[in-house]
Amino acid sequence: MEKWWFYSEGSGITKSILVRDSNGENYSIYFDIENNIFEIDNDSSFLSELEGSFSSYKNDNYLNDDDGSKSDDHYYDNWNNHINSCIDSYLRSEISRDCSENVNSIDSGSSSIRTSTNESDFNLSPDLDTTLQFTRIQYSHLWVQCENCYGLNYKKFFKAKLNICEECGYHLKMNSSDRIELLIDPGTWYPMDEDMVSIDPIEFHSEEEPYKDRIDSYQRETGLTEAVQTGIGELNGIPIAMGVMDFQFIGGSMGSVVGEKITRLIEYATNESLPVIIVCASGGARMQEGSLSLMQMAKISSALYNYQSNKKLFYVSLLTSPTTGGVTASFGMLGDIIIAEPNATIAFAGKRVIEETLKVTVLEEQQETEYLFEKGLFDLILPRNLLKDVLSELFKLHGFFSNKNQHES
């Protein structure tokens, strides 16, 4: 189902919603908050459910409060939330029905999705990967499903919420462009080394897909040339140099180009006396480039040594989910201040690798932010909505100020 919202002008607060289902049938919903009018134009199961649910809500004492103290804006917000709730309930029932039909065609004795007492949660049967994939594809244009609580987050509002689940507060992955938009002041970002692209330095052999073809495929899918974006910009007016890794590009893996771009960024910041932020999100060194990818760890660490120890400048490492492998073993843990996002996976070796190699059990929580913070692995756990302001204060504390303040002084 696809949904469009239209706002109209008038003396009262009115709203029209046009809804189109997967069969291409259109429905119109109209309501006028000031005059308590709610109309629909089609007697479908969805609209019947929506109208019945609305009627019970409209007759509630809250909407019929006689003291006149409720503002139009307050009514508007509650009606808006209720309409969203009705549509959300319908989507959930459709998902459950579609999955049930799909599973019944495979195994009449299986169950698909059971809605718990908390309507935001889906309890998924472990053997229904096909059903889950079917559901995600069918409704992926409408919502993003939380990895933690399986709650639904409408795509229309998800970016504005910084990719944080509104049901449980779980921080879902962000791409590099969204992170740049989050931290850098509008109109101040100037990318560096955008034309630098990977080749196949060791002629890596793969029976599935040649390495060069894989690079081309990810470039088309992500719109990026490599797994990191670097550049200079301003954070609350403070000039900074920043590198942002992108897990969507071959798992954020570090090859020769990623290492070279980050090294050049640090060298530029050294010459210009700029603070550096590197946002880490990586599976580690890129196996398709062999030892050349491992060399990037030493190269970046050497540039950081000159930056931090010789020039006495300030580097902040931001660890996001996941940060693993060679990135954790090098510049990820070399920050003057190391900040981690909540519920991020941070490790050197992955859980499966450790268990298969050492024959020990590794708990999920042992590679998560909160557990590792208690062990002293980093300095702060910081949610995204506070990140920009806290970074700004850290830079000021270390003697970096906005261009405006420098000109005034």
Find all residues with CB under 8 Å of 101, minimum gap 6, and list them. none
Q: What is the DSSP string of 199-226?
A: --TT----SSS-HHHHHHHHHHHHS-SS
The response to whether 146 counts as a known ligand-binding position is yes
The predicted structure's pLDDT at residue 106: 40
Asked if residue 284 lies in contact with residue 252, where contact means CB atoms within 8 angstroms, the answer is no
d(CA 159, CA 67): 38
Asked if residue 311 lies in contact with residue 273, where contact means CB atoms within 8 angstroms, the answer is yes
The response to whether 168 counts as a known ligand-binding position is yes
Strand 276-282 to 315-323 pairing: parallel
The predicted structure's pLDDT at residue 331: 97
Burial classification of residue 309, based on how many CB atoms lie within 10 Å of its CB (0-12 exposed, 13-18 middle, 19 or more buried) = exposed
The response to whether 99 counts as a known ligand-binding position is no
Asked if residue 168 lies in contact with residue 190, where contact means CB atoms within 8 angstroms, the answer is no
Asked if residue 13 lies in contact with residue 2, where contact means CB atoms within 8 angstroms, the answer is no
Query: Could you give all domains of the chain from N- to C-terminal order, each with its CATH number?
Result: 13-42 (no CATH), 139-172 (no CATH), 176-403 (3.90.226.10)
Q: Which residue has the tokens 């990820």?
A: 332
- For residue 306, the one-letter residue type is N
- For residue 328, the one-letter residue type is T
pTM over 0.85: no
d(CA 98, CA 90): 12
The predicted structure's pLDDT at residue 28: 62
State pLDDT tens for residues 198-219.
Answer: 999 998 988 888 999 999 999 9
**Regions of the chain where pLDDT drops below 50:** 1-13, 43, 46-47, 61, 63, 68-70, 102-103, 105-128
The response to whether 86 counts as a known ligand-binding position is no
